Amino acid sequence: LAAFDGCPLKATATNLVFSDGNPDAGLMLVGEGPGAEEDRAGLPFVGPSGQFLDRMLASIGLDRTKYLITNLIPWRPPGNRNPTDNEVLVCLPFLLRHIALVRPRRLVLLGALATRGVTGTNTGITRMRGRWLDAAIPGLERPVPALPMLHPAYLLRTPGAKRDAWADLVLLRRTLDADVKKS
């Protein structure tokens, strides 16, 4: 990915933002793309929405360093604009390959863009969130269970949506606990 010159965002970004955390964790969280602080640090989710994500995970007793965190787009779109369809199209194969190499047991998809990219579904995030669905990942023989959730940046702007986010976090925690019991 660092050697890839096919995405114009690379030219304006300071750093490649690839991933953070533990690739052996079994749980991989996928966000949208770096903001200003992520671009400076070269790490995903270290700015305000990252700090909020940390608090969301902490609220169900999870520590972000134990999981793998990445993004759909690995370079910051200038001025935090949304990535274009073309930028998503060009970067998506790298994310899908990343998932196939990591082979997570479960995925959490943060926000509409990550959900659309990984599931290939155009249904809005408010209708997709709140339940596990099967994400077919090229190169993996079995679909990966994926939980779409509202993006932390959206939750910071829309406090009324935190109730839905809490329901999703509880579902995530219960599912992880049930996985541990089964194994």
Beta strands in the chain (DSSP E): 19-21, 27-31, 68-71, 106-110, 133-135, 144-149
**Residue placing its CB nearer to ligand URA in the complex, 44 or 117:** 44
Nearer to ligand URA, 106 or 151 (CB): 151
Nearest approach, Cβ of residue 157 and ligand URA (Å): 12
- Shortest gap between Cβ of 11 and ligand URA (angstroms)? 19
CB of 154 to ligand URA, least distance (A): 10
Task: Output the smallest distance, CB 41 to ligand URA, in A.
Answer: 10
DSSP state of 78: G
CB-nearer residue toward ligand URA: 45 or 172: 45
Structure tokens at 31: 């966000």
Minimum CB separation of residue 80 from ligand URA in Å reads: 9
- When the beta carbons of 50 and 148 are compared against ligand URA, the nearer one is 50
Nearer to ligand URA among residue 31 and residue 148 (C-beta): 31
Which residue ranges make up the site for ligand URA (CB under 6 A)?
31-35, 38, 44-45, 47, 49-50, 71, 153
Nearer to ligand URA among residue 32 and residue 168 (C-beta): 32
With contact defined as beta carbons under 8 Å apart, do 130 and 102 qualify? no
Least gap, CB of 47 to ligand URA (angstroms): 6
Q: Where are the alpha helices (DSSP H) in 24-148?
A: 36-41, 48-59, 85-102, 112-119, 125-128
User: Which residues, 6+ apart, have CB-to-CB distance to 180 below 8 Å?
Assistant: none
Which residues are CB-neighbours of 107 under 8 A, at least 6 positions away?
A: 27, 28, 29, 30, 99, 118, 135, 144, 145, 146, 147
Please state, as a whole number, how many other Cβ atoms lie within 10 Å of the Cβ of residue 3.
4
Which residue minimizes CB distance to ligand URA?
Answer: 31
Residue with tokens 């408010």: 126
